[in-house]
Structures are given as C-alpha cells and as structure tokens.
C-alpha cells in the first residue's frame, strides 16, 4: 500500500471474518469507513477505535449506499452468503454487488477488493464434481465486478485458523466435512496484510489470487495444534455429515453447513498460491498455526466476541 493511500471503505465489516479483518487493517494504518446496517453492533465490535468511522448503509437500500459510498476511492467487500437457492431474489454476493456497482461514484472509485472462497477460484475447480451453490453465486458476483470496468482484486481464501476461535462453543470445536486431506490454513492477520498490500498495487489490479498458508495439514490435527496453545481445555469433536443432514432437516440454517461438509468430503485442496504469485505480489505467510494461536492469546484479540453473545 502506498504511503498516501489511507482511506478504505469496508462493506461487511461486522461479520465473523469482516470484523477481525477490519480491526487488523486499522492496526496496519488504514483509516476505515465501516458501512454497517446495524450501527449498535458495529459500535460493540469496534468500540472507541479512532481510526474506524461507522456509517449507515444497507445493501438492499440503494440510496443509503450511494450516500455512504459517494467519496469512496478504495472499497473492500467482506461479504458472505449462506444461500442454498441460486434463484433467491437477493443475495449479498450477487445482487448486493450489483447495488454496490450502481452506488459507487464512477468519478471517485479506483479499486474494489473482495474476499471469496478458494472454491470459487476458476483454477481450483474439480471438473467432475458439481460445484457448491455458494461458489456458483460468488462467481456470478465476480462477473459483475469484472464487467464493471472498475479495477478489481479478488482474494480466494482457504480456511481461516481464526475459525477455531469464532466457531468453538462451550469449550468444544466441531470438525465437519473432510478430515483427511490437507488444508492450507491462512489467518486473518496474514490475510489483512495481503489486502493492505493489494491497495493501489498495479500487479493486483484486474487480478485474482488464491490465499493459502504454505503448510497443508488435516483439519483435526490443525485444530489440535491450535488449541494446544490457545486453550488446551477445548475439546475437538468430529461431526459426521449424516448427522448434519439430520440437523438440517429440522433447522434450515444448518443446510449450508451440511452442503459445505458434503462438498469438502468430495474434494481436496490444491496448493496454488505460489503458482499465481500471491506471495510475490501481496506478501508472504508470517506465522505457523501455533504461532498465530500464541499471538491471538497474548493480544486477547477475540475478547470482543463475548460482548456479542
């Protein structure tokens, strides 16, 4: 990121990953404008951080987006979707992006950066396996970005080590899906650094990157290694996909998790980051799982989550 680039607008700043990414971007030196629909939740998360300004905006309310984005030059999207119906009338990562593109000021906007899943990266596709619905939807949103003519950077992420903290409940972390093949875990700090380095970076414009750690490790072992440092009282449990299927029958919010588990069992992650110049263009990985767990523990970085439960 060039020294003169300080302002960054973020949509999706209060989400599970959006919140910690925003916090680290603030620490890295960005003056952040966080566009939020729930202002009170945003205040709970970011507290009195002077480098994060919170303004109202709703992806489904075009006039609110236009007001919030009128002066934005650099925009980062940390949107997510749990939609399982591709025909749904409004999905954040598709219709939401369409509204964003209508709302940005064409005389001001210089770059749009967006998080994505590794499964939505075209070079990570498994041709003989039906794609995950959420990845199909993401690619539809990506096409809107690409056709807009606005310089874009799409960051396709592997699993985040932060998920161990975010999704553990009552001292238990549940492993779903593929428990055998390696995952190249990234983390929010390294990812935020790559977002930071992509800002106004000519190599990153009109480009897509796979975001991965360098070491592949199976999900169960990764969780054990992480919690051995972060909190050794947390238990690791494997949840079979058939149980998720039963749960999704009674709770519709479980269906996206079931579909993700089924998809991950049929696929394996390929290491692509070096091949597509992620480290050369956006910066290297800096920490192992254990080192990152130690960092989070020492900083008490995720203490804010207790205020949201």
User: How many other CB atoms are found less than 10 A from the CB of residue 86?
Assistant: 12
- Of residues 179 and 291, the one with the higher pLDDT is 291
Q: Are 161 and 226 in contact (CB under 8 A)?
A: yes
Half-sphere exposure of 292 (CA within 13 A, CB side): 24
What's CA 225's distance to the chain center, in Å? 22
In the structure, what pLDDT confidence band is assigned to residue 1 with cuts at 50, 70 and 90?
very low
Q: Are 42 and 68 in contact (CB under 8 A)?
A: no
In the structure, what pLDDT confidence band is assigned to residue 247 with cuts at 50, 70 and 90?
low
Helices (H), 199-237: 219-230
Structure tokens of 94?
Answer: 């598709």
How far apart are alpha carbons 278 and 82 in whole angstroms? 27
pLDDT given at position 252: 67
Q: What is the rounded average pLDDT of the residues 185-191?
A: 98
SS3 category, 55 = strand
In the structure, what pLDDT confidence band is assigned to residue 254 with cuts at 50, 70 and 90?
low
The answer to whether residue 165 scores a pLDDT higher than 90 is yes
How far apart are alpha carbons 134 and 242 in whole angstroms? 20
Least confident of 31-40, 167-176, 264-273: 264-273
The answer to whether residue 2 scores a pLDDT higher than 50 is no
The answer to whether residue 309 scores a pLDDT higher than 60 is no
How far apart are alpha carbons 306 and 309 in whole angstroms? 6
Q: Are 82 and 256 in contact (CB under 8 A)?
A: yes
Q: How many residues does the chain have?
A: 309
Q: Are 189 and 20 in contact (CB under 8 A)?
A: no
**DSSP letter assigned to residue 17:** T
SS3 category, 142 = helix
9-65 per-position pLDDT tens digit: 999 999 999 999 999 999 999 999 999 999 999 999 999 999 999 999 999 999 999
User: How many other CB atoms are found less than 10 A from the CB of residue 284?
Assistant: 12
Structure tokens of 77?
Answer: 């999207």
pLDDT given at position 125: 66
205-228 per-position pLDDT tens digit: 999 999 999 999 999 999 999 999
**Percent share of the chain, pLDDT over 70:** 89
Question: Could you give the domains of the chain?
Answer: 7-307 (3.40.50.720)
pLDDT given at position 243: 65
How far apart are alpha carbons 59 and 36 in whole angstroms? 9
How far apart are alpha carbons 100 and 61 in whole angstroms? 10
The answer to whether residue 4 scores a pLDDT higher than 70 is no
Q: What is the rounded average pLDDT of the residues 167-188?
A: 91
In 3D space, the residue among 109, 98, 114, 201 whose CA is nearest the CA of residue 154 turns out to be 114
CA distance from start to end of the chain:
35
How far apart are alpha carbons 60 and 43 in whole angstroms? 21
Taking each helix axis from N to C end, the angle separating 219-230 and 289-299, rounded to the nearest 10 degrees, works out to 40
85-123 per-position pLDDT tens digit: 899 999 999 999 999 999 999 999 999 999 999 999 988
121-164 per-position pLDDT tens digit: 988 766 667 778 899 999 999 999 999 999 999 999 999 999 99
């Amino acid at each position: 990121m060039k020294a003169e680039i300080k302002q960054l607008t973020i949509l999706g700043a209060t989400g599970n990953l959006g919140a910690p990414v925003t916090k680290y971007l603030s620490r890295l030196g960005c003056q952040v404008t966080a566009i939020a629909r729930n202002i009170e939740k945003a205040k709970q998360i970011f507290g009195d951080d002077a480098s994060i300004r919170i303004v109202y905006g709703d992806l489904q309310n075009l006039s609110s987006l236009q007001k919030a984005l009128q002066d934005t030059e650099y925009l980062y999207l940390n949107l997510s979707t749990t939609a399982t119906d591709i025909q749904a009338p409004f999905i954040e990562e598709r219709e939401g992006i369409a509204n964003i593109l209508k709302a940005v000021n064409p005389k001001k906007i210089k770059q749009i950066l967006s998080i994505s899943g590794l499964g939505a990266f075209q070079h990570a596709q498994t041709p003989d396996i039906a794609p995950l619905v959420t990845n199909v939807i993401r690619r539809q949103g990506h096409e809107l970005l690409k056709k807009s003519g606005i310089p874009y950077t799409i960051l396709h992420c592997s699993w985040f080590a932060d998920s161990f903290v975010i999704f553990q409940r009552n001292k238990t972390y549940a492993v779903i899906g593929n428990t055998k093949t390696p995952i190249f875990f990234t983390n929010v700090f390294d990812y935020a650094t790559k977002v930071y380095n992509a800002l106004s970076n000519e190599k990153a414009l009109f480009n897509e990157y796979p975001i991965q750690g360098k070491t592949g490790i199976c999900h169960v072992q990764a969780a054990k290694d992480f919690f051995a440092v972060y909190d050794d009282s947390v238990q690791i449990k494997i949840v079979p996909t058939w149980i998720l299927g039963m749960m999704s029958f009674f709770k519709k919010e479980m269906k996206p998790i079931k579909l993700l588990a089924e998809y991950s069992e049929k696929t394996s992650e390929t290491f692509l980051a070096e091949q597509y110049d992620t480290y050369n263009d956006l910066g290297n990985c800096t920490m192992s799982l254990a080192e990152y767990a130690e960092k989070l523990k020492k900083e008490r970085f995720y203490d804010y989550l207790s205020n949201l439960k």
